[in-house]
Structure 1
């Protein structure tokens, strides 16, 4: 037999996946035993640790407007200095 045949026989995933009974992993067994007496509290999917404070829409608008004005002033200064 070749080395490839040994590899395929040793790691035959089709045979393993076709097994009728699949044993849960060690972590799954540990969590099942822990949660049997003390089930976890329901939690939303990927919940934040703490709520994030929201900015007001006015603050965001003012920041965008300020950046646009600053860019316009900078462009004007560059054009003024290159013209004179």
Structure 2
């Protein structure tokens, strides 16, 4: 009987806590708020470059390499078919 009463009290406490108008921020949120009040963080890009990675090729360079490879294969196949005896 005592266990059931404890569960009901606990359920009541959870409902009461969830329905509170003001919720206290976590310790980490309070710590960051205090730190940023004195020294706000700088802007950060949505997806910054990972450290230690060099600059990437532009999309135009990649497109040119792919199209150049396709043209080279077509020319090579055409040359092989032209040289083949009939």
TM-score, normalised by the number of residues in structure 1: 0.52
Give the 5 Å matches for 1:7-46: 7=7, 9-11=9-11, 12-46=13-47
RMSD of aligned Cα (Å): 3.5
Name the residue aligned to 1:74.
none
The CA distance in 2 between the partners of 1:15 and 1:45, in whole Å, is 38
1:13 Cα deviation (Å)? Answer: 3.6
Which sections of structure 2, spanning at least 5 residues, go unmatched? 75-86
Which sections of structure 1, spanning at least 5 residues, go unmatched? 70-84
How many aligned residue pairs are there? 67
Q: Decide which structure has the larger Cα Rg and report it.
A: 2
1:2 Cα deviation (Å)? Answer: 6.7
- Deviation per CA, 1:10-45, whole angstroms, max 9, x where unpaired? 255432121122111000010011011100001122
TM-score, normalised by the number of residues in structure 2: 0.51
